[in-house]
Amino acid sequence: MNRLIVVAIGPALFGLGCAGSSNGSSSGGPPDRAPCGGVVAESTGAVRLASTPASQPIAIAADATNVYWTTYGSDPSQPGLVLKVPVVGGTPTTLATARTARVIAVDAANVYWGDTECNFTGGICAIMKVPISGGAATTLAALQSMPVGIVVTSDAIYWADSGTGSGRIMSLPLTGGAPVTLALDPLPTSIAVDATSVYWTSLNTVAAVSEAPLTGGPPLVLADSPANTSDRGSVVVDATNVYWTETLRIDPPGTATNSVMTVPKAGHWPITLASRQQDNTEASLDIALEGTDLYWPRQDAVLRVSTAGGQSVTLAQAQCTVDSLAVNPMSVFWLDSSDRTVLRLPRQ
């Protein structure tokens, strides 16, 4: 299966202010810039919503009311946290403690996450939930290896569990019951669903993106896996296409090209929608979709590109380390793991 690159993308800086500014946010929250010298453009109405100086933020989700995120847990004396803050800013609320939750999802009633580093408690990784309004956390699925992607729908929760050569694509009804294995994959990296199928990215040597029916059945390879891929990130879907991010190693050593890819659900050659070269091959490979806009991070920037392709737009640049992002109809949100902050920028 070949790959077809149809556009060459260049940067287009958008509404960026002075890196030395120290203007306060319109919501009365923290200043509108990052201490790293980052530009979170005042003219676009960007706001730093919250900070967690004691622990590194990892994964983020959002709804119309709140932003939810997780932090890194190093040992039992400093566990990871599941937190929320209003989308307009305010004081963060701790909803639960976690081991280290690298994936998070939210529906109208609950926040869901996957514990991914369980050794310091001697426990086993698990899929968990806690009410948005607060309360006790509940274990939905124990005996997981390493949840690396999680999605919740109106009737079920789906996750990718990445083991050492024994990964699984899993589901569980929200009403309870036993987890169901929908497909096997040695190294899944993320997951998405629509009304009929589950889609996942992988670092196996055959498939970059695969699909399987929600009712179970043989997986279908939608996109092949190039030999020079060093990482493959999040995946999202709309009515017709699958979108994902990946890193391709290039010369000189230590450099890489991070790309936003797409392939039709009906099958075709994968297409590169956007691509950025950078020095750090460990950059985040998150992606979020709202309407016809895709949002994705470079290590030090937040970018947008249309699902139809075209020129990418840099919405915020010179950030410390953009690690995870989320979007709702009004705003895009992201975590800066070095600055340990949660930020918001109006969708543009």
Domain co-membership, 31 together with 95: no
Domain co-membership, 138 together with 38: no
**Cα–Cα dist 233/245, whole Å:** 5
The reported pLDDT for the residue numbered 8 is: 24
The reported pLDDT for the residue numbered 259 is: 86
Domain co-membership, 68 together with 124: yes
Domain co-membership, 154 together with 246: yes
The reported pLDDT for the residue numbered 79 is: 82
Q: Which of 144, 161, 195 is the last residue of a domain?
A: 144
The reported pLDDT for the residue numbered 123 is: 56
Domain co-membership, 72 together with 211: no
Token pair of 298, please? Answer: 């470079």
Domain co-membership, 87 together with 221: no
Residue with the two structure tokens 């699909």: 211
Domain co-membership, 217 together with 98: no
Domain co-membership, 165 together with 303: yes
* Structural domain for 81, as ranges: 50-144
The reported pLDDT for the residue numbered 131 is: 98
Q: Which of 144, 168, 186 is the last residue of a domain?
A: 144
**Cα–Cα dist 171/173, whole Å:** 7
The reported pLDDT for the residue numbered 40 is: 47
For residue 121, report the phi and psi dihedrals to the nearest 5 degrees: -105, -5
Which phi-psi region, left, alpha or beta, contains residue 346 (left: φ > 0; alpha: ψ -120 to 50)? beta
Q: Give the CATH number for residue 337.
A: 2.120.10.30
Domain co-membership, 44 together with 56: no
Kindly give, in sequence order, each residue whose CB lies less than 8 Å from that of residue 298, ignoring residues fewer than 6 positions away. 258, 276, 278, 283, 322
Q: Which of 144, 159, 181 is the last residue of a domain?
A: 144
The reported pLDDT for the residue numbered 279 is: 54
Please count the structural domains in the chain: 2
The distance from CA 149 to its chain's CA centroid, rounded to whole angstroms, is: 8
Written as tens digits, the pLDDT of the chain (348 aa) is 333 322 222 222 222 222 222 223 333 333 344 445 444 443 345 788 998 888 889 999 999 999 999 998 766 677 889 999 999 999 999 999 887 788 999 999 999 999 876 544 455 688 999 999 999 999 999 888 889 899 999 999 999 998 766 789 999 999 999 999 999 998 899 999 999 999 999 987 777 899 999 998 899 999 987 766 667 889 999 999 999 998 776 656 666 678 899 999 987 789 999 987 665 545 567 899 999 999 998 777 889 999 999 999 988 876 778 889 999 999 999 998 888 899 999 987
The reported pLDDT for the residue numbered 80 is: 87
Secondary structure, 3-state, the chain = CCCEECCCCCCCECCCCCCCCCCECCCCCCECECCCCCECCHHHCCEEEEECCCCCEEEEEECCCEEEEEECCCECCECEEEEEEECCCCCCEEEEEECCEEEEEECCCEEEEEECCCHHHCCCEEEEEEECCCCCCEEEEEEECCEEEEEECCCEEEEEECCCCCCEEEEEECCCCCCEEEEECCCEEEEEECCCEEEEEECCCCEEEEEEECCCCCCEEEEECCCCEEEEEEEEECCCEEEEEEEEEECCCCEEEEEEEEEECCCCCCEEEEEEEECCCCCCCCCEEECCEEEEEECCEEEEEECCCCCCEEEEECCCCEEEEEECCCEEEEEECCCCEEEEEECC
Domain co-membership, 151 together with 269: yes
Domain co-membership, 193 together with 109: no
Domain co-membership, 186 together with 311: yes
